Structure 1
Amino acid sequence: MADLKMRVQSHVLKLLGDQLIGHDRLAVFELVKNSYDADAERVDVTLDLECDEPYISIKDDGCGMSMDDIESKWLEIGTDSKRGLKGKIPSKKFKRLPLGEKGVGRLAIQKLGDSVQLVTRIANAPELEFKIVWDDLIGGGKYLDQGLSISVKRNMVPKVFKTGGGTLLKITDLSRPEWSKREVRDLYRLITSLSNPINKIGSFDVELHLPGREEDIEDLPSAQDMLNAAIWSFDFAVSESGRFSWEYKFKPPAYKGLKHDGDANPADKLELVKVVDEDDDGKPPAIFLDPAMLAGIGPIKGKIYAYHRRTEILKESGSAKLITDWIRSQSGVRVYRDQVRVFNYGEPGDDWLGLNVRRINRPAGKLGTDSLIGYIDLNLAKSPGLKEKTNREGFDENDVYRNFQRVVLSVFDKFERLHGPHRKQIDKAIKGESKIIPVEEAFDALNEIAKKNNLESEIKPVVESLQSQLNSYRTVMLNSGMAGLNLSLAFHEMVHGVDTLTRQLEGNTSKTTLQQTIVHLRKLLDTFKPLLNKERARKTTIRELVARALDMNSGRFKRHDLVLSNHLSDGGVSFPVSGPLNLLMGAINNIIDNAIYWSRYQAQKEDKQGAVLIMTQWDSDKRSGSLAIIDNGPGFELPLDQLGTPFVSNRAEGMGLGLYYSRMVMESIDGSLVLCSADEIRDDFQIPDAYDGAAIIFQFKEEK
């Protein structure tokens, strides 16, 4: 039996340097993070491509390195000097915790160039200098244990750091000696995004210098000017105890009577968006954030800016083109830890929260990454569960990360629900009074765009299928005596969806995104499909209908610890009802589902007993009956004229289709659905004071 040793060939250094970092800009980013760890107050990054020997340099005024630091830290690949308990000691001057953990960031230099000169000095100590030519170093031995070495010299008379300390890295023999204007601007964008402009580090400033290329960035606006042009803003903080504080502002330009508005809550609870298989363990899914979810994450705070991208609004906010170009390059949701950016969250094409997919699936009131800028701040010391990937492109996607992702997405969901009514105000100001555009015109426009983009063969069959489905619905409505049913809202939403598809075609959107939009349009049509397949009208009583609906939901009240008071089972008045039982059952079930959710919501939020009340009334003079379903939830928080609109909801990730469907069912039998607060009908129905939430009333007319 023989003991054999594993050996590592020296060319692995080259492989790591080239493949560890995604691109040149990220390599510069990694080297600047080292300056942060070195307690630097100022970092000067220079890209000089106009001199005889083009170079990139990073110079800081940090603590510098000793000979021992160079040997045991800088030249030791994979060093643990910043890992574990030892590495988490705060820095001497600014008490910073180190951002680097892997001990391999310096290999990023190879991504930039083949040669590097390093000059460093600790204050009041000799200046140290050495140079590495990577090809020569790697060629010095086949294996890493064969004495790859460098020569370090002492400059008794400092060449660079004549007073104080710091470190200079000068990289030559550049891998890419020519940079386009766009690449220079991308580097500038990244450098200026290193520190969070919302929660800026007062003692860490990074400047980019471009000798001979200054004009490449001279027309770029300041971040603050562009942030001031945002229509919406949302400040928030989630404490370790789970307390959710926020401030929302709506600041439209002076356009057709639009007015500033806002709201705030210093001690709210964060309503969680759902996740797949959340209640597989048999327990009711949590409505609000449990502080246990923040283990390994710590407190989270941030700010969201959102823009309305219609030209009419952008012109009133400033230069439409300037703002549009800036949003295009800066939009996304960035993550910072101790005010320093975690790459690559928020970069072009990155959608780590899945906002774009949500916007396609639920377009009304949702925001895509192309219309907002978000800054998320974490505390490095309190977020040990979020581990950065070795390639520096985000966190490892473990359970802690998934909790972090869900919490932040829940914050965005809250913001979207607050901003939705104000977005509708802007849309109304732009378009004037809402007019229903003939859906055929929208389809014609879509076909024209498809033809122009050589996508006619792919889009035309979809358009024909949707048109055919709509026409068949119209035919059934006329033949079944439902011509008066108010489906204009559905057709209006259909036009909105077709318009979205048209814009996506104009913007060369991916085929996957187009398919998701088409799926959304089909979902909208499917929402009122049951109305056209309704059973023949049957006679029953409201007592029988409610009993059947409650039988279907009986386990839910017990499971969620809710009190159900059904006055129909306690001698309450019943009355005859005639209509398609499948539709009526579906409508009542939708409203019971809403009542269960919102009573649970308020019970968890205020630590009180959730309750649902069912009452009836019969008006012998008008020969009409009413069924009221009342809860002790928060009541309606959206404007009443928006309730029952498809895809508008104040429920986390709500679709808004339940109320819409129920209203259409009642209209189809010549009844109505009334939405109001419990207080508005308290005297009429003799409602106990404990029920102070929403009331939804089904109004039935006696069959003639």
Structure 2
Amino acid sequence: MTRRHLGKKPFDMSARVPMQLGRESISSSTVAMSELIKNGYDADAESVLLEFYLRDKPALSTLVLRDDGNGMDIDTIYEHWLKIGTDFKSGIELSLNKQRVLTGAKGLGRLGLDRLSKKVILYTKKKGSSSVIQLIVDWRKYEGTNASISEIQHDIYEQDLPLSGKYGDIFTSKEESGTYMVLVGLKDNWTSEFVEDLKEELRLLISPYRKANDFSITLYRNINNTEYSTELIDAQELLKAASWEIKAKVDSSNRVTLNFKNNATQEEVRQLPTPWGNWISKQGDKPLFGPLEFEFHYMVKKKEFLSKVDMTHRNWERFMALNRGVRIYRDDFRVRPYGEPTGKGDWLDIGFRKSQSPGGIKQGGWRIGPSQIIGAVSISKTTNSILNDQANREGIVENEAYLQLRTFVLKVISAFETLATKSAQGDDETDLSQELEKVVKAKDSELEKAISEIKAFTKKTQKRKKKTPPAQLVNQKLRDLDRAKLAHQKALDEYYLHLNKERKKLESQKDTLSNLASLGVLTVSFGHEIRTHSALALTNAKLLTKIVRNAEKTGKKIDYEQLVGLTSRMVVGAEYVDTFSKLAINNIKPDKRLRNKICVPTVFRRIFSMMSATFNKMGITWEFKFIKIKEEDFNIRSFEIDWESIAINLITNSTWALENTPREHRKLEVVFERLGGTRLRLSFMDSGCGLEAGQEDTIFLPMHSRKVDMRGNSTGTGMGLAIIKGQVEEHMTSGTVFAKQYSDLGGAGFYIEALKDQ
């Protein structure tokens, strides 16, 4: 079979492709404008000026965009600007003069011009040049044609200095440089609302947290020959209205530094540089995303803060509606859509977190709301290259590094929430019934004093004028007042008695609910094992029934060894379920809620025995030790149900902490120790991941959990250790509980101290 060579042809491109890239790949006019401004930034411009000359019809309106960057020569125009998707910036990390990290790499930004206007006239000049390059691009040439892209020609001219145009001077001296673009025939109707949207977009394009103040954006409007004042786009000043300022940093040595500043009290809380592996659990020894900074402001509408920035309540609400959320900036430029209030923009699920815990800041488990936070994560193209953009520039690729970044940001926010709650609550906890009693008694004291003064006065009056009727009348009223006071006091005593009974009743109900919560934790954590054992018993029971019936029908001899094996497995499964059921049912019996002399090691042995199947499955070994005390002497007057709950919660916590520990190193150790005199200590230690730095106190707060999924969302209830703290400190004589980041076993350590029951 023969073949004949017909020639060679390259791929060609339709002239419509640039139009499709410009209008369809760039999602909006504000995004197109952002891309053009980024080009100015990459060209080392210090200022970009947008001049709108608007008329009633968009086709008659013009936009002038000028920057004072490096400009281009004719070779750059030929070889790069007119080549779509050029690799001009590929492999080049920093700008020519200012050493800025380049923001663009795909060579598509200039196609945003087609999104904005029908025609563009571009003037550009490099420093020292005595002439200006002019390029005219009419985008309408690409419409309605089947021509190849190379067939569409654009006029290019060279013009001498000085050069001026309809909208003022373009270039006047050899020392000037930059690019000046006139966009003729705008495609959008740039109404006041549209321009305001652009202003807000540009306000957030440049990070308000940037270090170098060497780049500015200015906007000017002329509407139907009416001039408006020039506006500098800047958001940094508004951050002075924040109640709290929070700064977090991951440095190049993989250490985490935190700083929390309360602007109301001027107090600061600082966390010294802490190794990444110690600061966060189960995220490796170093972050995947590289060094970065995260800063956010807690913004609440308070008069004293609004006065700092001369802002009305109405403007405040509008500002927060437009600027709220946590944005991401790469080399001081915003990465969309992060930080937008809805959809994918709420990449941290701030709104969802708040809806799950809507209580106020003084309540446990408080979560910051989406309209209360303005923040920025600052990354770099050079040090965070793994956090690269999607092809359509609508977000970062959601790889493992991105998910870890999300986890980091959420942990910082969670740390602030805990600190802000403690600050709002203050150091004192108020008992409302006791406060009410103090107020009433104070008023009674005032009443008693007034009665005594009146009595003294009337006695003096009676001595002077024994037959004065008014004095007798006052005495009679005083006797009536005394009787009323006695009746009032009796009623108050009954009220206090009833109030105390109600308080004790509520405390009892709270204790019962705490233990039920512990059972819930146990059920969630070990429900799979319970189901496995019940299925084991059920399967073997069915198999036993089948064997017996087959033997009955066929007369075949039964293998009794097989029957023993089946029944043994049935017993194991049934006993496991029975043990758990007894624990669950006994937990709510009235006698379990009586304070008795409890041998704590006995309770722990029972719970550990119940968990033996789980320990065997996970390869966990455990040991009890006794120091300066015998097992039968470790007795504490307490509720038995409390110790069952404590054991359950500590085991649940440790099994999670041991998940990433090599199987052969998974250990639990419980030490029962006499510290001296009647002081006893129970130490519960594991060989797991340990606590995160600074969590020794916060881990006992309600709704505070360190268990998160791969996206950083909390998966724990945050109640287990809070329940333990309440049980120890409220129900045991001189009871205290504390934690250590690392114990003698290598993982976390939890320590409970109380007095021995004699």
Q: Give TM class, smaller chain.
A: 0.5 to 0.7
Find 2:172's aligned residue among 162, 165, 179.
162
The letter of the residue matching 1:185 is E
Q: 2:288 matched to 1:264?
A: no
Displacement after TM superposition at 1:591 (Å): 3.2
CA displacement 1:575-618 (0-9 Å, x = unmatched): 679999887534322134557889999x9xxxxx9996532679
In the TM superposition, 1:351-370 aligns within 5 A as: 351-362=346-357, 364-370=365-371
Structure 1 unaligned regions, length at least 5: 253-258, 275-285, 436-477, 492-529, 604-608, 680-686
Q: 2:722 matched to 1:675?
A: no
Residue 245 (structure 1) aligns with: 257
Q: 2:320 matched to 1:327?
A: yes
* More deviation, 572-581/540-549: 572-581
Alignment partners' CA distance in 2, 1:384 and 1:579: 57
CA displacement 1:657-690 (0-9 Å, x = unmatched): 113444677899x7689434489xxxxxxx9999
Identify the structure with the greater helix proportion. 2
* More deviation, 550-559/31-40: 550-559
Residues 79 and 313 of structure 1: is their aligned pair in 2 closer, same or farther, counting only changes over 3 Å? Answer: closer
Pairs aligned (count): 574
Q: 2:752 matched to 1:696?
A: yes
Q: 2:359 matched to 1:336?
A: no
In the TM superposition, 1:77-226 aligns within 5 A as: 77-83=84-90, 85=91, 87-88=92-93, 90-125=94-129, 126-139=131-144, 141-145=146-150, 147-159=151-163, 160-163=170-173, 164-181=176-193, 183-212=194-223, 223-226=235-238
The letter of the residue matching 1:263 is V
Displacement after TM superposition at 1:267 (Å): 1.2
Residue 348 (structure 1) aligns with: 341
The letter of the residue matching 1:82 is K
Find 2:625's aligned residue among 557, 566, 569.
566
Residues 390 and 381 of structure 1: is their aligned pair in 2 closer, same or farther, counting only changes over 3 Å? Answer: same
Q: 2:60 matched to 1:58?
A: no
Find 2:721's aligned residue among 641, 659, 666.
659
Residue 232 (structure 1) aligns with: 244
In the TM superposition, 1:17-56 aligns within 5 A as: 17-50=22-55, 53-56=60-63
Residue 68 (structure 1) aligns with: 75
* More deviation, 397-406/646-655: 646-655
Residues 541 and 676 of structure 1: is their aligned pair in 2 closer, same or farther, counting only changes over 3 Å? Answer: closer
Residue 703 (structure 2) aligns with: 647
The letter of the residue matching 2:259 is E
Displacement after TM superposition at 1:40 (Å): 1.2
Query: 1:8 aligns to what SS in structure 2?
Result: coil
Query: 1:381 aligns to what SS in structure 2?
Result: coil
Residues 309 and 612 of structure 1: is their aligned pair in 2 closer, same or farther, counting only changes over 3 Å? Answer: farther
Alignment partners' CA distance in 2, 1:305 and 1:531: 49
Residue 470 (structure 1) aligns with: none
The letter of the residue matching 2:672 is M
Residues 615 and 210 of structure 1: is their aligned pair in 2 closer, same or farther, counting only changes over 3 Å? Answer: farther
- Equivalent residues of 2:244, 2:263 under 8 A apart: yes
- Equivalent residues of 1:25, 1:187 under 8 A apart: yes
- Equivalent residues of 1:635, 1:677 under 8 A apart: no
Displacement after TM superposition at 1:57 (Å): 2.4
Displacement after TM superposition at 1:24 (Å): 1.3
Displacement after TM superposition at 1:43 (Å): 1.0
Alignment partners' CA distance in 2, 1:583 and 1:139: 80
Alignment partners' CA distance in 1, 2:727 and 2:585: 7
- Equivalent residues of 2:85, 2:106 under 8 A apart: yes
* More deviation, 48-57/16-25: 48-57
Residue 542 (structure 1) aligns with: 600
The letter of the residue matching 1:485 is S
Displacement after TM superposition at 1:153 (Å): 0.9
Alignment partners' CA distance in 1, 2:745 and 2:400: 44
Displacement after TM superposition at 1:68 (Å): 1.8
Residues 133 and 351 of structure 1: is their aligned pair in 2 closer, same or farther, counting only changes over 3 Å? Answer: same
TM-score between both structures, scaled by the size of structure 2: 0.63
- Equivalent residues of 1:395, 1:401 under 8 A apart: yes
Query: 2:392 aligns to what SS in structure 1?
Result: coil
Residues 273 and 148 of structure 1: is their aligned pair in 2 closer, same or farther, counting only changes over 3 Å? Answer: farther
Structure 2 unaligned regions, length at least 5: 164-169, 359-364, 434-500, 515-583, 709-713
- Equivalent residues of 2:68, 2:179 under 8 A apart: yes
Alignment partners' CA distance in 1, 2:145 and 2:157: 20
Displacement after TM superposition at 1:44 (Å): 0.8
Q: 2:23 matched to 1:10?
A: no
- Equivalent residues of 1:138, 1:148 under 8 A apart: no
The letter of the residue matching 1:73 is H
- Equivalent residues of 1:629, 1:695 under 8 A apart: yes
Q: 2:647 matched to 1:588?
A: yes
Alignment partners' CA distance in 2, 1:532 and 1:139: 82
- Equivalent residues of 2:627, 2:674 under 8 A apart: no
The letter of the residue matching 1:408 is V
- Equivalent residues of 1:588, 1:662 under 8 A apart: no
Alignment partners' CA distance in 1, 2:158 and 2:693: 74
Query: 2:293 aligns to what SS in structure 1?
Result: strand
Residues 118 and 197 of structure 1: is their aligned pair in 2 closer, same or farther, counting only changes over 3 Å? Answer: same
The letter of the residue matching 1:198 is Y
Residue 520 (structure 1) aligns with: none
Residue 487 (structure 1) aligns with: 510
Alignment partners' CA distance in 2, 1:226 and 1:417: 25
- Equivalent residues of 2:623, 2:670 under 8 A apart: yes
Query: 2:179 aligns to what SS in structure 1?
Result: strand
Alignment partners' CA distance in 2, 1:667 and 1:485: 15
Query: 2:296 aligns to what SS in structure 1?
Result: strand
Residues 410 and 560 of structure 1: is their aligned pair in 2 closer, same or farther, counting only changes over 3 Å? Answer: farther
Alignment partners' CA distance in 2, 1:204 and 1:313: 28
Alignment partners' CA distance in 1, 2:278 and 2:746: 26
Give the structure with higher Rg (CA): 2
Q: Percent identity?
A: 23
TM-score between both structures, scaled by the size of structure 1: 0.68
Alignment partners' CA distance in 1, 2:15 and 2:747: 75
Alignment partners' CA distance in 1, 2:302 and 2:587: 40
- Equivalent residues of 2:294, 2:376 under 8 A apart: yes
Alignment partners' CA distance in 2, 1:123 and 1:636: 54
Residues 404 and 162 of structure 1: is their aligned pair in 2 closer, same or farther, counting only changes over 3 Å? Answer: same
Q: 2:298 matched to 1:306?
A: yes
- Equivalent residues of 1:201, 1:339 under 8 A apart: no
Displacement after TM superposition at 1:396 (Å): 2.1
Query: 1:485 aligns to what SS in structure 2?
Result: helix
Query: 2:27 aligns to what SS in structure 1?
Result: coil
- Equivalent residues of 1:120, 1:167 under 8 A apart: yes
Alignment partners' CA distance in 2, 1:119 and 1:337: 29
Alignment partners' CA distance in 2, 1:370 and 1:70: 46
Displacement after TM superposition at 1:206 (Å): 1.7
- Equivalent residues of 1:663, 1:673 under 8 A apart: no
Residues 365 and 288 of structure 1: is their aligned pair in 2 closer, same or farther, counting only changes over 3 Å? Answer: farther
